[in-house]
Each structure stands twice: as structure tokens, then as C-alpha cells.
Amino acid sequence: MRREPRLFGPRDDPSPALDPHRRAGRSIVSVNGSFDLLHAGHLHILAEAARQGDVLVVGLNSDVSVRAYKGPGRPIMPESERAEILLALEMVDYVVLFDEPECAAFVLRVRPDVHVNDASYGENCIEAPAVRACGGRLHLVDKLPTASTTDILRRIKDLPA
């Protein structure tokens, strides 16, 4: 049985939920994204992240954050639905919303042992200094070449009416 709460808002502190895991010797893994229109590419990185440790914490860009970096019309699905879908996945233990367009503050809130990121961002990604400041390591995952929310939206838009 999982402990509540499993969803943390942008100003909530996830430490009370994560610290007992740390004391029990479990490793905390984080990964982040907007996870808008969940697809196989998302599942690929989430599964790889889950394999890196014991407790998976997903940083979820809030609606405000997604609009800031993806533009008007995004996200397609509101943060409440994206969080609900992520929490329905057995591999996801916690979801932490964040309002910033970048995830460094999320990493500092969670203090993961391992932070998983898309390999295309490389070892010097924006959150790398925050990961190192927490004493964690970065694990890079190659993206599935055919999986992109933007591509899915483009294909839907191109469908005949």
C-alpha cells in the first residue's frame, strides 16, 4: 500500500514523503517532463528511470511552466490529468509539480540519488549542477526516435476532416 500524499504542488515540500525512504536505504530517482499526451517515448524514459533505483519521483511541468516553454495552446491536457495518468503507472511513486520552465529547482527539492534525462541534453544539461549539488549522478537515456508529442499533434492536425 502506498503512502499519501503522492502528488505535491509547486510549493509543497516532498521531503516528509521521501526522507523515510532515504532512512530505509532506498535510492531516490528523479525524471522530469511535461508528459503531455503520454506516449511510448514517455514510457521508455520512465521505465529506464525506474530501473535506476527504488523510488521514482516524476517532476511534472505545471500548466504555467508548459505554456512558458511550449507556447499558447499547450499543454493539451491539464496538469491534474497528466498527474493522474502518471500516478496510475505502477513504476511512478510520486509526482512533484513545478512552475519553473527549467527543472533545477525541482531537483534541489527532491535531492535525488540519480536524475534521469534525455541523452540529447548531454552531461552538461541545465540541471546537472543541481544534481551534483545534491550528491547525485546523472543518467542519460536515448530518446525513441518515433515518439514526440509535437509529432503526434502534427499527425492529428494533418488527418482529413
pLDDT of residue 151: 82
CA distances (Å), origin 111, targets 15, 107, 150:
9, 6, 30
pTM (predicted TM-score): 0.93
Q: Indicate the residue type of 111.
A: R
pLDDT for 36-93, tens place per residue?
A: 989 999 999 999 999 999 999 999 999 999 999 888 889 999 999 999 999 999 999 9
**Spatial CB neighbours of 45, under 8 Å, sequence gap ≥ 6:** 31, 33, 116, 118, 141, 143
More confident residue, 12 or 71: 12
139: its cell numbers: 543518467
pLDDT of residue 3: 55
pLDDT (mean) for 79-108: 97
67: its cell numbers: 505554456
Among 24-38, 81-95, 100-114, 135-149, whose mean pLDDT is lowest?
135-149
pLDDT of residue 158: 86
Q: Kindly report the CATH number that applies to the domain delimited by 24-157.
A: 3.40.50.620
Q: How far apart are CA 153 and CA 151, in angstroms?
A: 5
